[in-house]
Amino acid sequence: MILMCGGTGDLGGRILRLLIEDGQDVRALVRPQTDASGLPKGIEVARGDLRDRSSLDAALVDVDTVVTTANAVSRSMTGEKGLTIAAVDGEGNQNLIRAADQARVRRFVLMSAAGMGRDMARLAPLMAAKQEAEKALWRTSMRVVVVRPDMFQEAWLGPEAGFDLANRKATVRGRGTQPHRFVAMDDVARLTANLAVRSDPPGVMEFGGPEALSVMDVVAAYEAAAGTELKVSHVPRTVLRVLDAVFKRTNPSMATGVGLSLFFDTHAGTWDDRPLREVGVEPRPATAFIEAVVRASL
Ligand SMILES: NC(=O)c1ccc[n+]([C@@H]2O[C@H](COP(=O)([O-])OP(=O)(O)OC[C@H]3O[C@@H](n4cnc5c(N)ncnc54)[C@H](OP(=O)(O)O)[C@@H]3O)[C@@H](O)[C@H]2O)c1
């Protein structure tokens, strides 16, 4: 039995559906107040919350693999009280790891992020919590699988990330010159579902999509696809550093967005798309995502 934590989320839902399609026995951990009607029909639901240890003990009965993508960032942005990075990604992940180890779970698949281990955890509160979760996992007797994808195309290449086609503007956080392998969520989901069940998974899987593009390359790709120039404005790194420090005290989710922008603006990715191709995934290029956004806007 696989316990999927975060199955009502965007990436988590994709992984959950792939596991079900693959015929796996899956139980979804769903918070008591969350509508579970969108989950695949017939799936077993365990009501629980990462912040409530006893609910995790109950959800883990007969479970041999845990997969978790659960996190507080998007939910805390909508103002849900108590759903903080510290409570969910920090203490909540630690609860889940302790409960799974005590329940003699054999494999634990944690969704982390590419770049972990450099100064990402210092800049982004979410990454500090994930780093602590990674460390805690290695102290258990479980088979650890840490999944570290690069930035998601859907999160970092759309209008919310500053590419405003309607107004022909682009806001670039920092200089935008470091290359990164923006990856499709469906591709991350396919690899994660594979890692949950394959017989001999690696301990850490760091990867990205097929193209290495800087943010300025992304601007150029938008301009080529739309056939028009974008007016680019940069948020200087010094401003990002100040915002990161202020948000760390007032809004850790916002600090995570700013801190990650700063991290990716100052570090190039060293990973590639091999892990995806090795499991038969033909990864979607970032430019294909951009072209689809442009087509949809016409
Ligand atoms: N965006 C990127 O570029 C990027 C890059 C690398 C890695 N990642 C990682 O990829 C994952 C993205 O996942 P996603 O898209 O599925 O996230 P999402 O859409 O924001 O969904 C969050 C999920 O976490 C659940 N959750 C929140 N608090 C919980 C709690 N206290 N107890 C139990 N469940 C809780 C939510 O349940 P409810 O529905 O009940 O709220 C929901 O299922 C994250 O781990 C993220 O850090 C992202």
Question: Ligand 1 centre from 273 Cα, in Å?
Answer: 23
Question: Ligand 1 centre from 239 Cα, in Å?
Answer: 28
155 close to ligand 1 (CB < 6 Angstrom): yes
Question: Ligand 1 centre from 229 Cα, in Å?
Answer: 35
Domain boundaries, the chain: 2-297
To the nearest whole percent, how much of the chain has pLDDT over 70? Answer: 100
88 close to ligand 1 (CB < 6 Angstrom): yes
pTM of the model: 0.97
CATH architecture of 2-297: 3-Layer(aba) Sandwich (3.40)
115 close to ligand 1 (CB < 6 Angstrom): no
Distance, CA of 84 to CA of 75 (rounded, Å): 9
> What is the mean predicted confidence (pLDDT) over 153-158?
96
pLDDT digit string, tens, across residues 165-188: 999 999 999 999 999 999 999 999
Query: Is the pLDDT at 61 greater than 80, yes or no?
Result: yes
pLDDT digit string, tens, across residues 111-136: 999 999 878 999 999 999 999 999 99
* 267 three-class SS: coil
What are the helix (H) ranges across 72-184? Answer: 73-77, 93-102, 120-123, 125-138, 153-156
